[in-house]
Amino acid sequence: MNMENKLSIDFLESHLFNMRTLGFSVFNSYYDVKVTNELREALEKEVENYVPFDASERSFLDRYHMHDLLNKNIIFGKTLEDERLQKLIAPILGDHWIMYAYTSSSLPPNGKNYGSRIHVDCPRFIPNYVTNAGVIWALDDFTFENGATHVLPGSHNTDQIPTEQFFKENNIRLNCKAGDLIIFNARLWHAAGMNKTDKYRHALTMNVCRPFMKQRMDWVRFIPSTISDQLNSQARRIIGFDTRLPSSLEEFFLPENERLYKANQE
């Protein structure tokens, strides 16, 4: 799909049909070359400067899945401000969806990362009800050589776990260009590929969920206010500013327009 048609009704219907049947949609040229390069350069800087947290094994394993990019540079927070993102995700998760996690997914030269195992990003299977979706911003071309993501089309529609052999025989590769956007049902079985080149393959990823669900981080407190205060209302909602819990009776009895958890979010 090409984003130049301004998300027409036909475009959105095609997107939702793909999400229901295949479990994913790919949107061409979501970001132009300039924005894509700026995001890649910012991510490359953070990957280069990454230091595992307190000698943690998990932190070492996650060195190619950075969890705190939104704390590092406002350029990453700006990805949440795009109104097209709302139009693509709201029909799936409702108007008030929020962010569960926001990470990088970088495949190192001649290597792979934790996402290269066959997996789903959501443990819950509820027939005809989506709780989570995934977003991938491709910052490099996804090719056979550098580890284009493997997906098993339609696998989000069953609680059956595919065998490794079945996945191997029936998966397809999500080859796409730098600047493309991928949205997928988080119940879709998938795996990052093996990067067989001598260069990194970079992407940004986000897991999004219903507004009543818990997030991986308390993003409102985790992200510095010097960054979050500069973002628009959509980005702040996605971060979780409209789904905060009161920590005192004073906060609980705030006037309606000041409530930390906004009303009528489903």
Sheet strand arrangement including 181-185: 24-27, 181-185, 132-138, 203-209, 98-104
pLDDT mean across residues, the chain: 94
Find the mean pLDDT for residues 55-68. Answer: 84
28-29-30 Cα angle (round to 5): 95
For the chain, list the domains and their CATH numbers: 3-258 (2.60.120.620)
* CA dist list (Å): 174 to 159, 181, 245: 23, 11, 39
Find the mean pLDDT for residues 146-154. Answer: 98
**Amino acid at position 202, single letter:** H
Q: What pairs with residue 137 in β-bridges?
A: 181, 204
pLDDT per residue over 121-149, tens digit each? 999 999 999 999 999 999 999 999 999 99
pLDDT per residue over 178-201, tens digit each? 999 999 999 999 999 999 999 999
Residue 46, classified by CB atoms within 10 Å of its CB into exposed (0-12), middle (13-18) or buried (19+), is: middle
DSSP string computed for 136-160? EEESS-B-TTTTPPEE-TTGGG--P
pLDDT of 64 above 60: yes
**Separation between Cα atoms, residue 18 and residue 16, nearest integer Å:** 5
